[in-house]
Amino acid sequence: MSDKCKKVYITTPIYYVNDVPHIGHAYTTIIADTLARYSRMAGMDVFFLTGTDEHGQKIEQAAKARGKSPQEYADEISNRFKQLWDEFEISYDKFIRTTDPDHMKGVQKAFEVMYDNGDIYKDVYRGHYCVSCETFFPETQLIDDEFCPECGRSTTMVEEESYFFRLSKYQDRLLEWYESKSDCILPKAKRNEVINFVKNGLEDLSITRTSFDWGVKLPKSIDDPKHVMYVWLDALMNYVTALGYGTDEKLMEYWPAKVHLIGKDILRFHAIYWPAFLMSLGLELPHHVAAHGWWTRNGEKMSKSKGNVVDPKEIADAYGLENFRYFMLREVPFGQDGDFSQRALIDRINSDLGNDLGNLLNRIIGMSGKYFDFKITSDGVRKFHASELKEVEAILEPVEKHLYEIQTNRYLEDLWKTLRIANKAIDTGMPWVKMKEGKEDEAMATIALVANILARVAVLLHPFMPKTTQTIAKALGFTVNNASYVELIKNNELLDEFTIEKIPPLFPRIEEPLVETPAAKAEAAKKEEKIKNQKSKPQTQDEESGANLITIDQFFQVQLKVGTVVEAEEVPKSKKLLKLQVDLGEEKPRQIVAGIKEWYSPEDLKDTQVCVVANLKPAKLMGMLSEGMLLAAKDDEGLCLIRPEKPRKAGSAIG
């Protein structure tokens, strides 16, 4: 992206107020904030939008269940999002709400324009509707003729009067857009998914409802007050109503958007419906629609019912907001799902930030103070380290392109390549040896080279870790701003004469997880409940001397045996179950159905040994008889089977 492109418009999706902010919301918003900060640093005029989506049947129902009006409920949840982004120092220019009067006026104006263009007509809708996804689905897409293909919940058969948008009219124009602009959808692999969906044929889209009231009414010129607009028409319009579409349009000069950042679950709405609406309105299409993957925990999608949701504020408070930002943007290639664990976060902080960046800065501070009283000049860098400098410049030249293609992990990988060059320069240049040999100019050049590499990394890392990098810059005697960006990055200049300042270590080492895991929290809650229950009833002498203790006779009632897995296969239609045939030294193998599919494939298990509870009462799982249970250990890092240290005869007793 050229810095001649002075106006840059960056958006997150507006987050639906059916739940509180989670790590997925934080991920999207942090990426957008990083893009906005980089663009401002590069001298561009940025407008960064985020906000909340507050209409629809789901919100109406959630509010009613809590004894609140929809507006009260929306106010409460919307405020939680805004408060978190403010605590995270997200640099948004506007926080829009779909209950804002100007937004609703703009949506009504858009409906009027599309209606006058002949793109909206009234008919009767008959079909399946998912309240949870706020989406209609044709019968051919349903699971077992009833269930939503997106969330798996039961759909409702709806038949009601509705206004329709002529989506089918724009099928060919959409395909032309996808073909003519290969990066209109990022990552590019997602573009192929959208093209295939559109090529299968587009049906006209129902865009109003009459069965609930919590939404934007149709414009008065339509004179049909019983209808409210379909939540996705309402929501998508926020990207232009935030700029004043339909009211005061002076900010429309920021349109079209440079990038709409979204989660992959709402790609269809943004890559098909939204550009079709824009075509109908006669507005330009966005440059990029960028869809990221989901964050999981131990391979499972996060959900409140599973108790595995990661609270972004809790993590940021424990580990540091900027460390959290770095981890989120470095850990996973954009577009792919990422698995969150505290151990992975700790490894990134200790290794990437502590060892590679922090220790390098400490080495330079130490050597500059010891040998040159902290006063450094870059006079000899090009003379003694021209090759290293050229290599660094070659690595950094394409990083801006990576950022605007939302390849944040590649961007950061390249920055860290330059840190490796810096560390190697110290190890091979050995300033301490040069000082003993009287080659002070060479020692100074090596220290200055590394300081300049650190300075360039600080500038380019600034959008990711704004406070940390200003601290690094202060230690190196400069400030990160547009001037230093132009000087050090665009023009490849060097810091001239500068004084290095001592600072405390930036990344103290972390040895153990700082946040209690969901499993530990659940276990603590159980213990607390048990203690509470015990206190509420008289204790017997046995209970006082040893609660939960069992006798040796009771232990030997459990038969634990070594088994050999002779066959293993997946259970159709199950995400968790594997069906095993296990040899326990009996006349024939036992069938055991185990919920371990997320951690083991059938190939991993065949001909391996396991530990089995052999005298467990048989049970049926998904209609299949299970004649035992495998022993396994599970924590927030995942599940692993308990196995014999060395092979043992099938059926050998454990105990």
Task: Identify the pLDDT of residue 540.
Answer: 47
Check the annotation: does 133 bind a ligand. Answer: yes
Given a cut of 50, whether residue 591 has pLDDT beyond it is yes
Mean local confidence (pLDDT), 185-205: 95
* Band of pLDDT at residue 521, cut at 50, 70 and 90: low
Q: 335: buried, middle or exposed (CB in 10 Å: 19+, 13-18, 0-12)? A: middle
Query: Whose CA is closest to 146, among 125, 161, 129, 160?
Result: 129
Is residue 39 within 8 A of residue 8, CB to CB? The reply is yes
Mean local confidence (pLDDT), 162-174: 97
Say how far apart CA 17 and CA 79 lie, in whole Å.
10
What is the rounded end-to-end Cα distance, in angstroms, of the chain?
Answer: 67
Given a cut of 80, whether residue 318 has pLDDT beyond it is yes
HSE-CB of 115 using CA atoms within 13 angstroms: 17
pLDDT, tens digit (0-9, with 9 covering 90-100), for 259-292 = 999 999 999 999 999 999 999 999 999 999 999 9
Mean model confidence pLDDT for the chain: 91
| 539, amino acid identity | Q
Task: Identify the pLDDT of residue 16.
Answer: 93
Task: Identify the pLDDT of residue 546.
Answer: 45
Task: Identify the pLDDT of residue 369.
Answer: 97
All residues at 6 or more sequence positions from 361 whose CB lies less than 8 Å from its CB, including other chains: 454, 472, 475, 503, 506
* Band of pLDDT at residue 541, cut at 50, 70 and 90: very low
Mean local confidence (pLDDT), 572-578: 83
All residues at 6 or more sequence positions from 348 whose CB lies less than 8 Å from its CB, including other chains: 323, 326, 327, 330, 331
Given a cut of 80, whether residue 528 has pLDDT beyond it is no
Given a cut of 70, whether residue 193 has pLDDT beyond it is yes
Check the annotation: does 130 bind a ligand. Answer: yes
Q: Is the peptide bond before 256 cis (omega within 30 degrees of 0)?
A: yes
Token pair in block for residue 585: 């030294």
Is residue 30 within 8 A of residue 295, CB to CB? The reply is no
* Band of pLDDT at residue 534, cut at 50, 70 and 90: low
Higher-scoring residue by pLDDT: 574, 103: 103
Task: Identify the pLDDT of residue 493.
Answer: 97
Task: Identify the pLDDT of residue 42.
Answer: 97
All residues at 6 or more sequence positions from 467 whose CB lies less than 8 Å from its CB, including other chains: 322
Given a cut of 50, whether residue 2 has pLDDT beyond it is no
Mean local confidence (pLDDT), 411-434: 97
Say how far apart CA 344 and CA 338 lie, in whole Å.
11
pLDDT, tens digit (0-9, with 9 covering 90-100), for 69-89 = 999 999 999 999 999 999 999
Given a cut of 90, whether residue 131 has pLDDT beyond it is no
Task: Identify the pLDDT of residue 305.
Answer: 66
Q: Which of 387-401, 476-490, 491-505, 509-523 has the lowest mean pLDDT?
A: 509-523
* Band of pLDDT at residue 599, cut at 50, 70 and 90: confident
> pTM here?
0.78
Check the annotation: does 5 bind a ligand. Answer: no
pLDDT, tens digit (0-9, with 9 covering 90-100), for 602-639 = 888 988 999 999 999 898 877 788 999 999 998 766 78
Given a cut of 90, whether residue 243 has pLDDT beyond it is yes
Task: Identify the pLDDT of residue 542.
Answer: 47
| Backbone CA torsion sign across 89, 90, 93, 94 | negative
